[in-house]
Structure formats: structure tokens, C-alpha cells
Structure 1
Amino acid sequence: MLGDTFQDGWESAKGIFLVSGHYAFIAWFFFSTMFFLIWLYHHNLFTKVIPTRFNRQRREVCFMPDGATEPLFVPWESLSAWVVQAQGATQYGVTRQYGMGMGFEHEGELVRVEFQCGSVQLAISNWEAVRGYMEYELNDLSTLQDPLGLQEPGDPPHEGLHTFRNARAGLHRRLREKEVGRIYAFFWYVYHVMTLWTLPNHLVEWEIKRIAKVGRRALPPAMQAWSEPLPAEQWAKPSSELLRLSAKVKALIKRYPRKPITEVYAEVYRSER
């Protein structure tokens, strides 16, 4: 098909490239436009949607449902949370989707917030992050977001150029201390060259600046007042029932540190029935 000589093969390959290039350009333009519109839609939500807020001093959660004019304040201990797993079959195999949600019942209707997650473990981790924050077990973002030491004191909380520079500095430190070898360092550079070096980090920085420029939807006055800090003597206290159940959970975790947190909660729940 490509001919008997190198020249014939070269001409055939060049012809295939020129013919398919037109269709490749159309496909690239179509998908780029589609992804840009999706990206633009989600960015415009910053001016329309008010995120759910958690106030651990008041031990309350603030929801702003779609179409509502006033926020809803819910006691923290009355909130429900769940993890969803869906499974389906296609011609390519079995597909699974996961999600995490939280909400409460208001005037006979369920007011909720749900979002997709990559796995059941990630969905549970999202809830544990919220729960840990509200129960004063987590107090800063580095506890959640910095397992690889990519954030230095004074760095902004988002990923960006600083995380790349910190990662490269960490690589050189590990290389000097002989934690890794030159082959590891070589492939580290190969990987980042193949992923366009610092271009993704520049895009993140640009996106964050754009979000700051576009701004967010203004908070209702009631939510602004609710978000103000309280004197320490006015902080809400957890209920005695929550303290009792939390003590059971902590004791079980200490006894079986490798036991999944879902099984720990299930065992405590069964003991209460």
C-alpha cells in the first residue's frame, strides 16, 4: 500500500497526512470550542452560585438553594451526609460513578448539595474533611492538601508556579541526600517536559486571577452577619450525645487503627440499636 521504495512510502504517508489533516483540524476546533464553552459556563457560576458555608463557632451550616432569596441556617448535628455509587454497563465494559452529598429536610423537601467524586474513598474523605473542620480536628489547609510538602510558609493555598518550584527544590534536596538516584531525577524532568513544563501552572495562576477579577456573587446581609466571628464565650458546644458517640468512635479507631472508617461508624451505630 505504501509502495516498494522509501520514496514511495514517504509520498504515501505525506498524502495520508495531508488528507487527514483537514478532518483533524475540524475535530480539534469542535472539541476545543466545546470544552471552552463548558469551562466558561462553570466559571460564570461564580457570579450566580453561593457556596454552602460551615461555621464551627455557631455549629451551623448555611445553605443557599437555587432560586432562594434568603439563606437557610441548619444546626450542624442535624445535617445528613451520604455517599452514592452508581454502576452501569456499556459496550466498553462496566463503568462506575461516585458522589458525595449532604443536606437536610426543610418544609417537607430535601435541600441538598451533591457533587461527583473519583472513588468511594475520596467521597468519604471529603466528608471527613468537613467533619474534622467542624469538630476542630483540622485547622488549616496544609493538613488536607499538602501530603507531598509542596507548600512553603507564606505560599498561597492554591497550586501554581510555587508548587512546581517547591517540587523541583524538593527533588534536588532528595538527590543531594541520596534519597533518589539520577535515573529518578532524569525521568522526573522527562515527565514534566512531556506535560509542558510550567504551562499548566501558569494556566492555574491565570484562572485564579480571572476568578478574582470576575468576582463572586454578593452574600446576602443575613449570611454576612452569620459569618462574622463570635467571642469565645459565645461559641456553641457539641451535644452530650455527640460527645458520647465520638468517644466510642475514637476508642474503636485506637483499638483497630486499620479498620475502615465506614466500618467503625457502622459498628458504633449497631451498638446503639
Structure 2
Amino acid sequence: MNDPMYNRLPHTGDFEFESGTEAFYLSPKPLPTGSAAFSGQRMHRAVSDVFLDFAHSASGLEFAVRASVGSVIFMMIFFFLVNVLLAGSSFYHGWPFWSNLIEYVKNPFLWGFTAVHILIAGVPLYKSIHQITSVPPVRFNRQRREVAYVRQKGDPPLIVPWEEVIACVTAGTTVNPYAVMHSYSLMIGLRDSISGEVVWLTLNVGHLSLAVSEWEALRVYMEEGPLALPEPLLVDEEFQEGTVAYFHMCRGVYREMHSWPVYAFGFLTIQFCSGWTLPCRFSEWIYTRPKAAFPDSIREWSKPLPAEQHAKPSAELVRQSAELRQAMSKGQSLFGYYKVKFSEPEAPLANEKIH
């Protein structure tokens, strides 16, 4: 994401447009965004006065499993219907229907293509599961004002000063013959000061404002502590996104808001073909499996420090934060302060007043 037009690492307020994707940088330095701090995906696995662990939740894995299962089942149903049509055509010309259908279904090329499709869908899913279970979460230590990340087991941890963490929100569009799809994400970059390499962690969200709010939740924790984090909207984890209870809750809402034909073909058929509650149960099972432990050096690094040893924000961060808060108190938004305007349909967000 680093654009050579700056001839430097990005700063808060930088705006980029590349290959149809717009990116606005929120850090470094991690200045106030004016948005409400919010995390809608159970990203905060552990929170204390010393550190916060940030990792992908079960909802993201549930969607990945559902998409993989759905694509495979859709392909199998498509091939079956094609075989039925071919067998029907043969029957019309005097050939036996059922024997031809069986021969079509037994076609090795058909099953070979299906196996390749399963492999294509399964490999990324396996990598996601391996990433969740084998790599510790990103740990934000507010007393040291540092962030630690372990790429994989056996690798030395990457520790980055909090004020040097790169964060940006992105908005992009994908155009196909049927629709224009909008995508938004929060990207967190951890730069190795020795090699200069930046490790990017990407969180896909449904709206640009949600990406800003996810980052704001991390920022207020690091700057103000765990009491500044918002209470979850759903206190009962049973109803968190990606769970079986959440699935049935959505099913009930969909049924109430739509007619029976729309409910039958718009929800029941699609969800049945994508595994029904199986992706929810599988993702919850993976989410509750023992995760990779932090190395001894990070466990030592995570121990509480005496108050006099707590790291303090830099004078530059304090000055810039005060200037931005003053502008926001006069009704200016973060995007307006930096004279940034995202393309439609996100333009109204750039003019929104944040208090």
C-alpha cells in the first residue's frame, strides 16, 4: 500500500487511489478519528489493563466455510441438472433415460472437474484455518505502547512501537455483468525496522464507517485503557455473528420481512445448499480449539509494569491530537479535516459531522 509518490512511509491523512481501490491512512500517528469505537466481530479475544489480543473471529471463518461449501454444492447441482437434460434429450431420441443418466453421472471428467473445484475452494479455507490455529493473535501492549506479532511458530516476534503502526481504511468496487460490488476493509501494517518489510493484516467489513470504528476501538484502548472500550451490542455470546443462534435469529427476521416464496428461494434454498448450520458449528469448533501460544519472550513482555515505567505518548502525537480534537469540536469530520472525499456511495461519510 505504500505509494512512492510520498517518497516516505505514509502518515495520518494520506490518501491513495490505485487499481480501483481508495485508501485513507489513520496512522501513524494514531490520531483520534471522531468515530464511535466499536468492534462487531468479536475481534478482541483477551483484554486487560496491560494488553489486548486482536484476531479474526468465528464469523469470518463461518462465511468462508459457507462460501466454499456453497460453491461446491452449486457446481454439483448444476452438473446434475445438465445430466438430467442430456438424459432427457437421449430419451426423446429413443434411448433409455435412467441408464443414460447413470452413465452421464459416472463420467470421470465430471468428477475430476468437481475434485479440482473442491481443491480450489478447500486450499484457501485450509490456509485460513491453519492461520487461526497456528498463529497467536496480535497483542497490543498499552503499558509499553508496543504491538507484538508472531508470523509463525519458531519465528522471532515482530515488535513495533504503537505510534509507528500503519493503519488505513480502503474502499473499492468490483464490476461484473450483473452488479457493482463494493468492498471495504481495515488494514493494519506492522513494519520491521530492520528489513523494512511491512506485514499487513486485513479485516474485511461491510461499510467504511465500520472499518474506522474497528480501528478506533484499538486506538482508545491503547490511549485510554480497557474502560474506554464499548460494551458489545450482544452481551450473550450465543447470539454473536457466526453462531447457530445468530443464524436462526436471522432466519426468523428474514421470514418476518418477506413472503413465503421469497423466504423459500431466497433463504431456505441458498442456506441449505451452503450447509445450513454446519458452517456455524464448524467455525465455532475451530474458534474454541487451543490456539498457538506466545513465545516466552512475549509472555515476559506482557507482564505488568510499575506505573512509573509506563510509556508515554510522544509530544508530537499529543499536539496533533489536540489540534484535531479542536477542529472536530467545531463540527469538522476527520475526512473533512484532511480534505479527503471517497467516491460514491461513501461521499456522505466525508461530510458527516463527528462530535
TM-score over 0.5 for the pair: yes
CA shift for structure 1 position 12: 4.5
Cα deviation 1:101-120 (Å, max 9, x = unaligned)? 41235125234324374789
Contact 1:43 1:211 in 2 (8 A): no
TM-score of the two chains, using structure 1 as the length reference: 0.62
**Aligned residue for 2:117?**
31
Contact kept, 8 Å, 1:53 with 1:61, in 2: the verdict is: yes
- Structure 1: any 5+ residue segments left out of the alignment? 1-7, 268-273
Matched, 1:238 2:313: yes
Q: Does 1:134 align with 2:222?
A: yes
Scaled by the length of structure 2, the TM-score of the pair is 0.50
Do the aligned partners of residues 86 and 168 (structure 1) sit closer, same or farther apart at CA in structure 2, a change above 3 Å counting? closer
Using the aligned pairs only, state the percent identity. Answer: 24
Number of equivalenced pairs = 242
CA distance in 1, matches of 2:264, 2:222: 40
Counterpart of 2:281?
Answer: 205
- Cα distance between partner residues in 2 of 1:120 and 1:154: 23
Aligned partner of residue 238 in structure 2, secondary structure: coil
C-alpha distance after superposition, 1:16-46 (max 9, x if no partner):
9777644544433321133223322332234
Residue equivalent to 2:136:
50
User: 1:88/1:152 Cα in 2 relative to 1: closer, same or farther (>3 Å)?
Assistant: closer
Aligned pairs (5 A) from 1:1-273: 11-12=91-92, 21=105, 22=107, 24-65=110-151, 69-82=155-168, 100-115=187-202, 117=204, 121=208, 126-136=214-224, 139-140=229-230, 142=232, 151-155=234-238, 157=240, 159-167=242-250, 183=258, 187=262, 191-196=266-271, 199-213=275-289, 215-229=290-304, 235-256=310-331, 259=333, 261-265=334-338
Query: What amino acid does structure 2 have at the position aligned with 1:109?
Result: G
Give the letter aligned to residue 102 of structure 1: G
Return closer, same or farther for 1:227/1:169 CA change in 2, 3 Å cut-off: farther
Q: 1:120 to 1:185 in 2, by over 3 A?
A: closer
Q: Counterparts of 1:18 and 1:192 in 2: how far apart (Å)?
A: 31
Judge conservation of contact 2:134–2:153 (CA < 8 Å) in 1: no
Alpha-carbon distance in structure 2 between the residues aligned to 1:26 and 1:189: 32
Compute the RMSD of aligned alpha carbons.
4.7
Measure, in 1, the Cα distance between the counterparts of 2:200 and 2:115.
Answer: 34
**Shift of residue 220, structure 1, vs aligned partner:** 0.6
SS at match of 1:194: helix
CA deviations 1:223-264 (Å, max 9, x no partner) are 11333455777654433432332233233334346x4x3443
For the residues of structure 2 that align with 1:35 and 1:160, how far apart are their CA atoms? 22
Aligned-pair CA distance for 1:211: 4.7
Change (3 A) 1:87 1:45: same
1:68/1:33 Cα in 2 relative to 1: closer, same or farther (>3 Å)? closer
Q: Give the superposition deviation at 1:196.
A: 2.5
Cα offset for 1:161?
1.1
Q: Structure 2 counterpart of 1:107, which letter?
A: I
Q: 1:234 to 1:40 in 2, by over 3 A?
A: same
Partner of 1:271: none
Change (3 A) 1:252 1:166: farther
Larger Rg over CA atoms: 1
Return the offset for 1:219.
Answer: 1.0
Measured in 2, the distance between the counterparts of 1:168 and 1:255 equals 44
Residue type at the aligned position of 2:337: V
In the aligned structure 1, how far is the partner of 2:266 from the partner of 2:235? Answer: 23
Unpaired runs of at least 5, structure 2 = 1-87, 341-355
- Shift of residue 76 of structure 1? 0.9
Kept in 2: contact 1:64–1:72 (CA 8 A): yes
State the SS of the aligned residue for 1:30: helix
Measured against aligned partners, the alpha-carbon deviations of 1:174-224 in whole angstroms (never above 9, x if no partner) come to x6xxxx6xx4687456533123369444322223313533x3222111211
